[in-house]
Structure 1
Amino acid sequence: MTTAIEYGITEFVTECLDKFRFLIWDEFDGETMIQIAIKERNEKILNLILEISGNDRDDLVSREDNNYNSILHYAAKLAPSAKLNLVSGAALQMQREVQWFKGVENIVHSQYKYTRNGDKETAKYVFTEKHKDLVEKGEKWMKDTSGSCMVVATLIATVAFAAAFTVPRGNISDTNSLQNGVPIFLSGRTFAIFAVADSVALFSSITSDLMFLAIMTSRYAEEDFYKSLPQKLIIGLATLFISMASILISFGAAFTIVLRDKYSWAPIPVASFGLVSVLLFAFLEFPLFLQMVYFTYFPSIFGNKNQSVTNKKKTTKLAKEIEAKKEL
């Protein structure tokens, strides 16, 4: 049973509970099934056990081991390395650990949140002690990532700002004209594309810089890894991607204005190479970005509602059978 929970073999656990329903109350080397599931970070099996427990859920989640460790103390321990490595980046690993701790905290009665184990330690204290190294690694990962992205965003902001005053084909230089200093191709559609793209690149790169600066100056407390830091990194990466795409569009528009009279085919290779650059950046950074968005805004800790119909029927049936047996 311990091995099945460790490796997430939900079918085996379901069949065992179907034949031996009392197993949710038994101990395996001093630990119950729910304690093992929490320690191994297996939310599917934990959801299964909680659903089967039925009306005895409060009694089940309030049980302690021989050292008076509650299930919240088990959630406070560092996850196995195999589970941590499923998430890329120490900061996202720390975020997942905080989400797991809060998830277990939500199913425990409030009076058990501050209980002490045999070593006189609360679950929160255990969590802080066990995750010191991961917090430091998460801080380093965040700062390194933010620093690298900040350099790129600053370069884009510099180029976009300079491009606003060195427009393609120059300005009208006639002191006797009311349009003196006005861009020559101001009324052209391509120039409008250049102006809009350059403005978007400037503002988005500045926004990206601000987000990465906020990350660099954060306090890096455990709670910051829950939503604050990931949200800033998500906004920073999103605006950085927008600024890169915009500056390439701006360059393409300016290049077209300069060369279209002599080389009408010039926009084609410019657009092609620009698209390759944008797609390459998206290919390299989008998986990390998608993972951050998913874990930040769609965490599945104890919220797995996508169980198969078969599993739902089985767990509901088991819960009813346990209740019927108790009544007898």
Structure 2
Amino acid sequence: MIQQTLVNAANSGIPEVVEEIIEVFPGLVHHTNEMGQNIFHIAILNRCEDVFNLIYQFREEVRHLIVTKRDSNDKSCLDLILDLKKEQKLNLRASAAGAALQNCSGSRGFRTKETTTSGPVYTEAHEELVKEGEKLMKDAATSCTTIVALVTAVLFAVAITVPGGNDGNNGIPILFEDRGFIIFVILDAFGLFSSISYVVMFLSILTSRYSVIDFL
């Protein structure tokens, strides 16, 4: 009963149940279903990232045994990550971040010591996904850069043409000692600094190499 519950929890993406069972029965981490798949095989097949992340709670040698364990189809966890099918992709592909998030999730799956040499294999297997992610990210970054640039221009214009104007004799703002004016200046400066920071951030996205690790 416990074994079936563990498999069902991994299949449904419920990490809390999986974690509780493994804490009480640690040996069940090596339990396999009729296909020879352990809970991490199942988590990968169902794209249950929260369940798969439980692997980092185990010692390095145990993680190695888990990710290299082969099922009845001679597939290890690494093989299953590479065997990404269209119907298994995240249901976010219609959004601008969909392919980027998929690349991020996929590349994170290779960030263990046992898989440091698998990056080129992942890139080759997901070349189409990388290109799609690059296009979506560039489109989103371009749109956001345009909007933020407009906001920056407005905030800069407001900063040099302060409300109430300046004193013609000394150039000091007429409302300089007004509390509301001080609040206005602080908020405008904060907005200007933030918008400039966002412009730099979006420009760095546009000039990125768009390799798999860049999505992560």
Higher relative contact order (CA 8 A, sep 6+): 1
Change (3 A) 1:25 1:56: farther
4+ residue stretches of structure 1 with deviation over 6 A?
47-51
Shift of 1:50: 10
**C-alpha distance in 2 between matches for 1:161 and 1:50:** 48
Larger Rg: 1
Does the alignment pair 1:164 with 2:159?
A: yes
**C-alpha distance in 2 between matches for 1:66 and 1:220:** 36
Unaligned runs of 5+ in 2: none
Q: Verify the 8 A CA contact 2:46 2:88 in the aligned structure 1.
A: no
Unaligned runs of 5+ in 1: 115-121, 227-328
Shift of 1:225: 0.9
1:127 to 103, 118, 122: 122
**In the alignment, which residue of structure 2 is the partner of 1:24?**
31
Residue 202 of structure 1: SS of its match in structure 2?
helix
1:72 to 67, 78, 84: 78
**In the alignment, which residue of structure 2 is the partner of 1:239?**
none
**C-alpha distance in 2 between matches for 1:93 and 1:222:** 10
Give runs of aligned pairs for residues 63-142 of structure 1, distance below 5 A: 63-64=69-70, 69-78=75-84, 81-82=87-88, 84-85=90-91, 89-90=97-98, 91-102=100-111, 105-106=112-113, 110=114, 113=115, 123-142=118-137
Does the alignment pair 1:219 with 2:214?
A: no
Residue 164 of structure 1: SS of its match in structure 2?
helix
Q: Verify the 8 A CA contact 1:8 1:42 in the aligned structure 2.
A: yes
Does the alignment pair 1:197 with 2:202?
A: no
Q: Verify the 8 A CA contact 2:110 2:118 in the aligned structure 1.
A: no
**In the alignment, which residue of structure 1 is the partner of 2:45?**
39
Bigger shift: 156-165 or 33-42? 33-42
RMSD: 3.9
**C-alpha distance in 2 between matches for 1:197 and 1:58:** 52
**C-alpha distance in 2 between matches for 1:152 and 1:172:** 34
One-letter code aligned to 1:202: L
**C-alpha distance in 2 between matches for 1:46 and 1:150:** 36
Give runs of aligned pairs for residues 310-325 of structure 1, distance below 5 A: none
TM-score by length of 2: 0.69
One-letter code aligned to 1:75: I
One-letter code aligned to 1:95: C
Q: Verify the 8 A CA contact 1:77 1:127 in the aligned structure 2.
A: no
One-letter code aligned to 1:94: N
**C-alpha distance in 1 between matches for 2:120 and 2:165:** 65
**C-alpha distance in 2 between matches for 1:220 and 1:6:** 32
**In the alignment, which residue of structure 1 is the partner of 2:198?**
208
**In the alignment, which residue of structure 2 is the partner of 1:282?**
none
Residue 32 of structure 1: SS of its match in structure 2?
coil
Q: Report % sequence identity.
A: 39
**C-alpha distance in 1 between matches for 2:168 and 2:63:** 81
Shift of 1:131: 1.7
One-letter code aligned to 1:38: I
Cα deviation digits, residues 154-194 of structure 1 (max 9, x gap): 112212222222222222224xxxx2x22222121122122
TM-score by length of 1: 0.48
Shift of 1:66: 7.2
